[in-house]
Each structure stands twice: as C-alpha cells, then as structure tokens.
Amino acid sequence: MTHKPGIVVTGASGRMGQMLIRTVIDSGQAHLVAALERPGHGWIGRDLGEAMGGAPLGVTVTDDPLEAFARAQAIIDFTVPAASVEFAQLAAQARAVHVIGTTGFTQDQLDQLKPAARHATIIRAGNMSLGVNLLVQLTRRVAAALDEDFDIEIVEAHHNQKVDAPSGTALMLGQAAAEGRGVNLSDVSDRGRDGITGPRQRGHIGFSAIRGGDIVGEHDVMFAAAGERIILRHVATDRAIFARGALKAALWGQGKPPGEYDMADVLGL
Ligand SMILES: NC(=O)C1=CN([C@@H]2O[C@H](COP(=O)(O)OP(=O)(O)OC[C@H]3O[C@@H](n4cnc5c(N)ncnc54)[C@H](O)[C@@H]3O)[C@@H](O)[C@H]2O)C=CC1
Ligand SMILES: O=C(O)C1=N[C@H](C(=O)O)C[C@H](O)C1
C-alpha cells in the first residue's frame, strides 16, 4: 500500500481554501490532517465540514500552525503574504513541503522565504494551473522571437475581492516576456498609467488590471506592432484548476531536496 501524505490547508474558509479542502478529500491521494484559519476567525474550534455547510469531517479548524504542521507532510497555503512568510519558517521546522499559492509578496517578503528553503521544499507559483504555466512558456518564446517593434502589454481581470495588483500571474507573464527579451523586468515595467503619461516607451512591458464581479482570472499577453497584433490568452472559469495544480505540487514535492521550486518544475515544462 502506498503512503498518502498528510496535508494541512491554510486559509480554510477562503475562496481557495474551501476549493483545496474539497480537492484534497476527493482526490484519494492524500489525507487532510488539519485546516488552519487566522486567530479570531469564526471557524476556529468548529468542525470543518459543518463550517463549510456540509456533513461533519472530523477535522476541527485550528489557529495553531505549529501543532498542525507537525502532523503533516505538506502545507497548501493560499492566504496572505505575511502569513505565508511565517508559515514557511514553521513548515521548515516540521520538514514539510510548503506549497505557496499566495500572491502579492514584496521583494523583502520573498527574500524572507529563502532561509526556510534551506531546510524544506518550497513550491511557489502565482498561478498553479497547467494552462497558465504553458502560457508562461509560450510568452517567453514569442517575446524572444519578436523585437521591440512589438509592444508587450499584459492585461489581467479578476473578481472584485482581489487585494493585489498586478496579479501574481501577470507578474509571471511579465517576467517571462522580459526573460525572452533578455531584459530585467524591473527596468522596463510600466504600471498604473494615469494622466499625461507621454507616449509609450519602446521596449517597456505594460500592465493593466481590471477588477469586477466574480471573474475567476483572465490574462492576455498582447504583442502589438504597426499593422498587426498577437494576443495570447488564458481564461480561468473554475478555481479547481488552481487547487488541482497545488495538490499535484504537494505530491511531487515529497522526497525532493530542500530548495525553491515552481510549477514549471512540477509540470516538467
Ligand atoms: N497561485 C494560484 O494559482 C492562485 C493564487 N491565489 C492567491 O491565493 C491567495 C488567497 O486567495 P483567496 O482564497 O481568493 O482569498 P480569500 O481572502 O478568500 O482567502 C484567504 C484566507 O486566508 C485566511 N488567512 C489570512 N491570514 C491567515 C493566517 N495568519 N492564518 C490562517 N489563515 C489566514 C483568511 O482568513 C482567508 O480565509 C491570494 O493571494 C490569491 O491571489 C488565488 C487563486 C489561485
Ligand atoms: O486572487 C485570485 O483570485 C487569483 N490570484 C492569482 C493571481 O494573482 O494571479 C491566480 C489567479 O489568477 C486567481
């Protein structure tokens, strides 16, 4: 009989948290050993299944990451950057694989993940879907094939509760476009145009963010030149694609040496 890893889902009541819990339970490939929420949250101390509006699951929602992680082989974490940084240290102590889907990190917060990655396997991606990770590869190739006659613009759309912009996915796409061009994204990034901006600067990579309704996540990478445009597009219609990718990462990470990985590693892209 193969061993099924024990998994903790953090941010259990969140849009992704609930999707992840269902995905882990339905998969038959892993055990849900704990569900974590932030201190003071109304779900703490309740049965997870009942809190989600269904039958009891025999898992009590906790706000104690240390105790929960000690029982797990993997943590699947879609929360907020400050919490993910804290969880990285605790997951490293527990030697558990830490799958991070959270977006909106500052560079300083990303740097804080590095010590944890010396002791544990961290798999982090701003988007865990197969489709977006393929789009990242395509974007790098198209950007490498075209010169700066083609202006690169990244347009993303998300639901009205999203708190960070540009999205983690848009930043992944921008990074891939910059790598294809052989430039640093930070040198060419155009964000938040407003007012008298002047003409577009040749070679820049632009970002625009739409927020509205219940949009799950849509990303266009536009290569616009005089007389023609190429648009690479991904449209997510179901958060299950992210949850499936995250579970795949948690399983892939078992037994991998400590370090920082992404979904391209998991998917072999
Ligand atoms: N990488 C990917 O494929 C995807 C990433 N995301 C990202 O995942 C994150 C969460 O997204 P949503 O689920 O839509 O947000 P949400 O706001 O619905 O859920 C976040 C949950 O985290 C909980 N939380 C906050 N601090 C916590 C702490 N210290 N301990 C435990 N729980 C804590 C909140 O109470 C909330 O329930 C965002 O950064 C989003 O951009 C979302 C979808 C896909
Ligand atoms: O917050 C979301 O919802 C999503 N966040 C990720 C991002 O920032 O790109 C992934 C997906 O687009 C949904």
The pTM (predicted TM-score) of the whole model is 0.98
Average of per-residue pLDDT across 167-184:
98
- The third-level CATH classification (topology) of the domain covering 6-128+239-267 is Rossmann fold (3.40.50)
Nearest CA to ligand 1 atom 21: 11
Average of per-residue pLDDT across 82-98:
97
- Residue range 100-144, pLDDT digits in tens: 999 999 999 999 999 999 999 999 999 999 999 999 999 999 999
Ligand 1 contact via 16 beta carbon (within 6 Å):
yes
- Residue range 57-75, pLDDT digits in tens: 999 999 999 999 999 999 9
Proportion of the chain above pLDDT 90, given as a percent? 99
- The third-level CATH classification (topology) of the domain covering 130-236 is Dihydrodipicolinate Reductase; domain 2 (3.30.360)
The per-residue pLDDT for 79 is 98
Whether residue 183 is predicted with pLDDT greater than 90 in this model: the reply is yes
- Verify whether residue 119 is a known catalytic residue: no
31, 119, 162, 204: the active-site residue: 162
The band of 3, judged by pLDDT with boundaries at 50, 70 and 90, is confident
How far apart are the CA of 89 and the centre of ligand 1, in A? Answer: 18
The per-residue pLDDT for 1 is 44
Please, are residues 116 and 255 in contact by the beta-carbon 8 Å criterion?
no
**Residue 41 Cα: closest atom of ligand 1:** 35
Average of per-residue pLDDT across 165-178:
98
CA–CA separation, 115 and 108 (whole Å): 13
Tell me the torsion sign for CA atoms 73, 238, 51, 25: negative
Ligand 2 contact via 168 beta carbon (within 6 Å):
yes
Average of per-residue pLDDT across 150-177:
98
C-alpha distances out from residue 240 to 130, 162, 165, 230, 243, Å: 11, 17, 22, 28, 5
- Verify whether residue 158 is a known catalytic residue: yes
CA–CA separation, 229 and 1 (whole Å): 54
Show me where the domains of the chain are located. Answer: 6-128+239-267, 130-236
